[in-house]
Amino acid sequence: MNTPPRRAKRSFASAAPLLLLASASVASAAQTLSIGDMHSSYNRNIWWMSVAVIVMAILIFIGVSYALFYTVNKFREDKHTAEPDQFHGNNRLEQLLIGVPVIIVTIITILAARTMAIVNPTPADALHVNVTGAQFWWAFEYPDTPVTGGTVNVTNGNELVIPAGRQVAVTVTAKDVIHAFWAPNLGGQRDAIPGSKKTFQIDTDQPGVYQGNCTVLCGASHANMRFKVVALPKAQYDAFIAGAQAYKAPAPANSSEQNGYNIFMQGKASAAAAPCASCHRIQGTPAAGAVGPDLSYFGSRNTLGAGIWEGKAREAHIQPWIKNCPSVKPGCLMPVYEKLSDTDLADLEAYLLSLKLPESAAYWGKVPVR
Ligand code: CUA
């Protein structure tokens, strides 16, 4: 499914100057990132906190402006040519000037502490997902969902499937340099730091496809380090997890897929092509590499290159990607396979696209793009 370009929703929320300043309009082919386009309890809690502070700031502005204009007008020189009375020390005025700011700061502190107490704790029934940032893609692992008959958990690359209506506790780390995980419609942002694990919550009660992006400069393809969050109704989410847990890659169905399979698993010495399986995993096959993204249900995905291409554009880029990855994505760490023939490249594409989840477990096209 190829999604047409969308304009940012112009909501009252996104019109507020404070949020406009804070919302980054990171350009994407299909979706605009904005914290003003709120789809999560986190964003709504932060928004009401912001409204309270903005209202107080406006009241203070009006009060100070009134006092200023009143004073300037009352003591204008043309009215009062004599010098006004001088005085030193005014207990009442000093108490006001100290007391009022203390009250204002106390109110803001209480509001902030209350908001933090609401959005920070991980609920006991939260779904746990481990997120690992790498140059330049995202690994998503579901630690509570072991794969049938194996020791590994359900994993996915660059497409995070979550249930709508349930808090998702995201534990973020990185394996090379510092990245940052941010799905602005669904929650806050966390740095992904090698050796560190930080947990925070994202959530939404509106099923849909949401955009995410890396937000810390991490190298040549920082801007190409995107991801999708697909929030499904509970039943569809459960079907995805069940399908992913039980997934076994289908055997190659024809000679083209068989050739693709062979190159993937063993490489092709005559074309100086190393086995793809050294770096990538395909569930139900000997391929168990963990260097690059898990490709287990590649045929059921909709994005390529960490969200650079979607739908039809994705399919058009699979072969150029395999042939010379750094030429289509700057800084891509995958080796080049330039000596593979066009037939070999087409066969690899055919094999990868044959790796599909059962229709009941597939997650694209079932919820709207938001
Ligand atoms: Cu990863 Cu920027």
Domain ranges of the chain: 41-78+88-119, 255-361
In the three-class reduction of DSSP (H, G, I as helix; E, B as strand; rest coil), residue 141 is classed as strand
pLDDT at res. 87: 77
pLDDT at res. 28: 41
Q: Which of 20-24, 202-206, 249-253, 293-297 has the lowest mean pLDDT?
A: 20-24
Query: Between the CA of residue 111 and those of 6, 47, 119, 264, what are the distances in Å?
Result: 35, 12, 12, 56
Confidence band, pLDDT 50/70/90 cuts, at residue 4 = very low
pLDDT at res. 8: 41
Q: Which atom of ligand 1 is nearest to the CA of 223?
A: 2
CA neighbor of 229 nearest in space, from 361, 311, 131: 131
pLDDT(62) > 80: yes
pLDDT at res. 270: 87
* Amino acid making up residue 136: F
User: How far away, in angstroms, is 48 Cα from ligand 1 center?
Assistant: 30
pTM: 0.82
What are 129-138's pLDDT values in tens digits? 999 999 999 9
Nearest CA to ligand 1 atom 1: 179
Q: Which atom of ligand 1 is nearest to the CA of 225?
A: 1
Q: Which atom of ligand 1 is nearest to the CA of 219?
A: 2
pLDDT(2) > 70: no
pLDDT at res. 191: 95
What are 7-43's pLDDT values in tens digits? 444 443 444 443 333 343 333 445 677 777 888 999 9
pLDDT(291) > 70: yes
pLDDT(255) > 50: yes
Query: Between the CA of residue 287 and those of 149, 274, 276, 334, what are the distances in Å?
Result: 16, 13, 8, 16
- CA angle, 300 then 158 then 140, to 5°: 100
Place of tokens 């009134």: 66
For the segment(s) 255-361, the CATH number from 3.40.640.10, 3.40.109.10, 2.60.40.420, 3.40.462.10 is 2.60.40.420
User: How far away, in angstroms, is 227 Cα from ligand 1 center?
Assistant: 11
Cis peptide before 136 (omega within 30 of 0): yes
Mean pLDDT of 70-92: 79
Mean pLDDT of 193-219: 93
Q: Which atom of ligand 1 is nearest to the CA of 217?
A: 2
* Amino acid making up residue 4: P
In the three-class reduction of DSSP (H, G, I as helix; E, B as strand; rest coil), residue 93 is classed as helix
Mean pLDDT of 163-174: 95
Confidence band, pLDDT 50/70/90 cuts, at residue 201 = very high
Q: Are strands 127-134 and 168-174 parallel, antiparallel or unpaired?
A: parallel
Instruction: With beta carbons less than 8 A apart as the criterion, state whether 212 and 174 touch.
Output: no
Mean pLDDT of 125-131: 95
Q: Is the CB of 345 under 6 A from ligand 1?
A: no
Structure tokens at 96: 């006001």
